[in-house]
A and B are shown apart, each in its own frame.
Chain A
Amino acid sequence: MPKRADLRKVLVIGSGPIIIGQAAEFDYSGTQACRALSEEGLEVVLVNSNPATIMTDVEVADRVYVEPLTPEFVEKIIAAERPDGILATLGGQTGLNLALALSQAGALDRYGVELLGTSLETIQNAEDRDRFRTSMLDLGQPVPESHTAERVDDALGVAAGIGYPVVVRPAFTLGGTGGGIAENPDALAAVATRGLMASPIRQVLVERCVLGWKEIEYEVMRDTSGTSITVCNMENVDPMGVHTGDSIVVAPSMTLSDREYQLLRTAALRIIGGLGIAGGCNIQFALDPNSDAYYVIEVNPRVSRSSALASKATGYPIARVAAKIAVGLRLDEIPNRVTGVTRAAFEPSLDYVVVKIPRWPFDKFPTMDRRLGTQMKATGEVMAIGRTFEQALLKAVRSLDLKLDGIRHPSGAHWSAAELERLVTEPNDLRLFAVAEALRRGWTIEDLMAGTLIDRFFIAKIARIVEIESRLSAGSSAVGAAKRAGFSDSAIAAIQGKTEGAVRLGRRSAGIRPVFKIVDTCAGEFPAETPYYYSTYEAEDELPEFRRPRIVVLGSGPIRIGQGIEFDYSTVHAVKALREAGYEAVIINNNPETVSTDFDISDRLYFEPLTMEDVLHVCEREQPVGVLVQYGGQTAINLAGPLDAAGVPVLGTSVTSLDISEDRRKFDALLADLDIERPQGGAVRTIEAARALIRRIGLPVLVRPSYVLGGRGMEIVDDEDAALTAVQAALAADHEYPVLIDRYIGGLEVEVDAIADGESLLIPGIMEHVEAAGIHSGDSIAIFPAQSLPDAIEDYLVLEANLRASRTVPFVSKAVSVPLVQIGTRVMIGDRLADLGYPGVYRLPSPPRVAVKAPVFSMEKLVRAEVALGPEMRSTGEVMGLGADVPAAVRRALIAAGLEVKGDTVLVSLAPRDRIGARALLESFRRLGFRVVATEGTASALRDAGMLADSVDAFDALATGRVGLVINTPTRGRDAARRGFRLRRAALEHRIPCVTSLDTARVIAAALEGSPSDTDVQPLPGPAPH
């Protein structure tokens, strides 16, 4: 069945901003889908509100709309474009929910648009809890006993019938938002309340809990002729009870017999066929470790995080194939591009082991609950490939970029027995390390099986790693065995009390070097030219044919707060520029969710940890002209010095210059030479030095570590004791580098991305932050081009300079329609800006539309996390709003960010310092028709200032359902028990926007006063001419 002839134009829906549970994997799948559809000769229209994506590049689709993913805006796009079909199954839960809303609003019928791929009815049969249960039972598939509930009382009644513990699963949410396990009625009341709130249809499922059963996933594909295949299966190392997004996962399954493998595979095929899915689907099973009994836990009728992982784990491009199926192709008509000779109708066979480990944001949220359960908390993940489980596991740990070179946690030895027991028995981010520590302290495999419910197989593997550690510390010649098991040189060095260099030299002289093998989808059965490699310690290196000079681009590793998808965007653009310039572009990265790790983006992809040792191994094999470290965020920049020292050429800005920008004293000296001012401050390594410095520069001060990543560990403090406590904490977090202390100065903050070649300077424009300095730039609403800057600026300070691609590069590139990264890359390989058309100090003209970047947070996923903004970055993603003027662009950005003000009341609770200044702002809300209510202290202060506001109990006010916006400026400090903290969390739980800076509130008021009914949509313009 060839491509359907009646389809000419297709609208693809993206997934919007990065949030926990919906991350870069949808950029990967959406980009793949757009390309797959273009290949079939279709006109592709794309909508997504997230500028930091490859999919919103104008080259990816025929027309790209950066607009809010709401039914209102998408219907406008449908009206303007009149597509024949709409593809919603590649945009995550956002895409599905949007398709459902469009259909229910009659928009699809109105414009005669067909939903391609899996039908809405099928989606509902899989997603609506009652219908899911019925459809599974109709297909003869067992599901755990469960009932839906729409009220807390109903939930308690259901649980009384099923028996505790129970799992609560809200309908139509992603990443298990609002769900959880309840052991008793009290706990259930709390979990069910949260779950009902989280579900857009106010429905939860209360289900029998199969805690401790094996959790197995199958990735399944089906075409419209009925051919179904499984791409792979995956086994969660953490058994049932921990969300798969928060579990360590291995592919293929390790502990299933063929009988069990086929039992679940056959069930998976029966389910995908019975539901009538056309495309990809993820099915989760719980399998009894002591019998053949199983349950179907969940069916996701779309591509997902798991399908991205499965694609990278096997080389089978699920999203690409799903897109082809959606336009009518059969699996046996779609070529397998890995082998070139086989078809998409086959099942990959793996001759390696893949391990995924989640990356959690606990380092950013000290108050947060680190326990793991059914609600996903990870922001990203890493994947590693090895020929053994141990090797893949240790490579994955290294890839996390948490300064861990193995499963020996630096704090491990200090854990008390009770602490260790808690870390072992309660699922949490440190459990892997705790299991290893327990083994070192003499726990048996059986003890740990009982304590963790983790399968014997995995515990025995960890025990084997621990055993190699002890052989290494006994000084025996276990280095070869350790390398084969995946140990890094630095881990061996630490155990043997040597330097990393000495270990490296020793093993190299013993001939212990890695080889690289190919991921080929077929376990060696067919010749494959796939440029997709992993390292291992075996005999044969599958050497590629090197054709042209090569340049290695370092990726940025897992998505985390402060280092997100923006860097993947830059990595992909760098590769594009290098290939166009005639180089072979080589990527090293370890994030399975992203576009950069799609094997056909680069000339060669190495799925490896981004550590000095692993990168050097690739460089030794590739012998590149040079390495680009500027696009992989702080992860890659940190490798510049060591690579340079090892003789690997670092392209672009010299390592000396990079060092000046990162070294406080050198940077100060440079600025002094240039006669540029910066806030007073300095670098300290001791408390005494910190005290002296603070007394010299005065309070308040900003305290942070040298090598910053999204402002981790940054704090603004206005008394000396608190400042010294913060210094102490920062010193403890990083022993290698000093702590930076700056005088904190409020004011307008602006930011410039620029490209220089030593002669010329290209400035795309200046971006203005809405929130005053002190709130991390990544969490600020930003306006491009800057609106409030005078023509001649006389009084300014430089805060910092980052000599690498920043987080804002994709946003600015899209705002000005110029691919900045590609220009930067051309400069790094020797081109002159003047020759590229940007001579002298070249400032790009202002674009026709104002662009606004708004941050998006995932706070509802992060129980007990602080909502208020500060110098530490907290947002997980961003959206872009475009408009004719600032209010229009801001309003669109707010809608896209989910910050629409809906009620008729504004609730205000302000820190004393803000109360007087807020009057004009509150008057403007009143003019807009809002009722302004305030907490007692704020109300009385406002009264004193001549403004009447009703004094209310904040929590009662939130419960009325009329509050549309909470304005709460926090008093400084981190005390989680404070009333303000609870108020902010409560607002979040009621899904009411809560802003913690008056600047944010002002821009919201201005946007509401602006052009409220503007919903015109425009595609991004093509590349700007110059």
Chain B
Amino acid sequence: MIGPRAYLILEDGAVFEGTRIGAPVEAAGEVVFTTSMTGYQEVISDPSYRGQIVVMAAPLIGNYGFNPQAWEARGPHVRGFVVREACEVPSHYLSREPLDEFLAGHGIAGLTELDTRRLVRHLRIHGLKRGMISGSADQSTIDRVRDLPELHEQDLVGEASCKEPIVIPGDGPRIALLDCGVKLGIIDALRRRGCEVHVLPHTTGPEAIAAFEPGGVLLSNGPGDPAVLNSVVATVRDIIDNIPVMGVCLGHQLLALAVGGRTYKMKFGHRGSNQPVLDQLTGRVMITTQNHGYAVDPDTLPSSVEVTHVNLNDGTIEGLRHRHLPVFSVQFHPEGRPGPHDADHLYDEFLDAIGVRTEVTHAEAR
């Protein structure tokens, strides 16, 4: 591909030169990488990536184009998108457009034709950095990168959460879904089980939640630092005594904070579709999708919760359960999208906790 030169500039001064794709704009954010080999459209539209420039470790991206079925939100959430090769001739019966056009059409800056493995290794060795995709790499651009806000200085959940409640009708139990930037995959997992899902803004308080008389509350995934979401944490603390709760990803971190635990920022996080998680109860390992840069500190957890899942690679906490209440959470995404569905049964367990067991149409989960 021959196109205009552009650069990814990191706050530590590292510069990666490539070819611009997508929209001819600057993009700034935390630069993260994912090792998922498929599911780039799901990645681009995952609200948890809000505020970030995503680097795909897999080199060939865009091979099957973009289609109306692979959205995780109503539009893209990444700030910028970096790939080794952007496929120009995609091939898939559902494909509507190639990567370059897709990014351009959504105003997202992209960069290609660079050594993305070098970039991934840089981030892994030196930790995640703020960065910018720009047409110039001079000192003033580097200075601007250093002035970019950190994740905890931004209201990313506020940007990603719905503004008004949305109701997805169903015959099954009523679920209040506290939306911190929910992926459609989570809503689908509940919808397929027949749930009536009320997607609520993250600012919804405990009384307002209770007013819906939900059978259970699902704390969604979302972007940014959980430790800055004090009011959401307070809400969670209020509801767990009364209502079954399941937390996913950011929702898991919020639950940990609500019971008195602490979270910390990881060096480069877990992003990919191949994270092995050991279920401490069954002794089995599940391969899971993950997308998080913060984790729960095990030393800060009260004795009222127990660790149910750990990451087999680095031992970090992947799941918690309250010892006395029908409340649990997982750091990974049981619904995949992109990624495996090995842990899909956890949504069944949530419904079990609510006390209702609904038949799932597994056809779609397949």
Residues of A bordering B, CB below 8 Å: 225-227, 229-230, 252-259, 261-263, 265-267, 269, 289-291, 330-332, 341-343, 345-353, 387-389, 445, 455-457, 460, 517, 522-527, 538-540, 542
Contacts and interface: CB of A to CB of B under 8 A. Distances in A.
Interface string B120-158: 110011000000000000000000000000000000000
B339 A258 contact: yes
Nearest to A339: B313
Pick the most buried of B69, B117, B274, B341: most chain A CB atoms within 10 A of its CB.
Answer: B117
A226 B339 contact: no
Contact of B91 (A227, A351, A456, A540): A456
Interface in B250-302: 272-276, 278, 283-285, 287
Given A258-B41, A291-B93, A456-B89, 10 more contacts: A258-B70, A258-B339, A259-B70, A266-B341, A345-B285, A352-B59, A387-B59, A387-B117, A388-B85, A457-B87
B117 A525 contact: no
A255 B91 contact: yes
A455 B336 CA distance: 27
B312 interface: yes
Contacts of B69: 259
Nearest to A252: B37
22 contacts: A227-B284, A229-B276, A255-B92, A257-B64, A258-B42, A258-B70, A259-B69, A259-B70, A266-B366, A269-B342, A331-B285, A345-B278, A346-B313, A347-B287, A353-B59, A388-B59, A388-B60, A457-B63, A522-B274, A523-B57, A526-B313, A542-B121
B340 interface: yes
Contact of B63 (A255, A263, A267): A255
A539 B58 contact: no
B284 A226 contact: yes
A290 B283 contact: no
A345 B84 CA distance: 28
Contact of B121 (A227, A269, A353, A540): A540
A517 B42 CA distance: 28
Contact of B35 (A254, A255, A258, A523): A523
Contacts of A523: 35, 57-58, 117, 120, 272
Nearest to A541: B118
Contacts of A331: 285
A345 B275 CA distance: 9
Contacts of A525: 35, 57, 120, 124, 272
Contact of B124 (A227, A352, A455, A524): A524
Contacts of A255: 63-64, 91-92
Nearest to A349: B35
Contacts of A290: 93
A540 B312 contact: no
Interface of B: 33, 35-39, 41-42, 57-60, 63-64, 67, 69-70, 84-85, 87-94, 114-118, 120-121, 124-125, 272-276, 278, 283-285, 287, 312-314, 336-342, 365-366
A1004 to B, nearest CB: 55
A540 B287 contact: no
Pick the most buried of A254, A351, A445: most chain B CB atoms within 10 A of its CB.
Answer: A351
B21 to A, nearest CB: 16
B58 A540 contact: no
Given A229-B285, A538-B115, A539-B118, A258 B38 contact: yes
Nearest to B277: A345
A212 to B, nearest CB: 13
Given A225-B284, A262-B336, A540-B121, A345 B312 contact: yes
Contact of A266 (B276, B337, B365): B365
A548 to B, nearest CB: 26
A343 B276 contact: yes
A265 B41 CA distance: 19
Contacts of A341: 313-314
A253 B64 CA distance: 11
A229 B285 CA distance: 9
Contacts of A269: 342
Contact of B283 (A225, A261, A262): A225
A538 B336 CA distance: 32
A457 B93 CA distance: 12
B137 to A, nearest CB: 14
Contacts of B59: 351-353, 387-388
Contacts of B92: 255, 257
Contact of A346 (B57, B116, B120, B312): B312
A343 B285 CA distance: 11
A261 B38 contact: yes
B60 A389 contact: yes
A395 B65 CA distance: 27
B284 A258 contact: no
A946 to B, nearest CB: 74
A229 B276 CA distance: 9
Contacts of A517: 117
B91 to A, nearest CB: 4
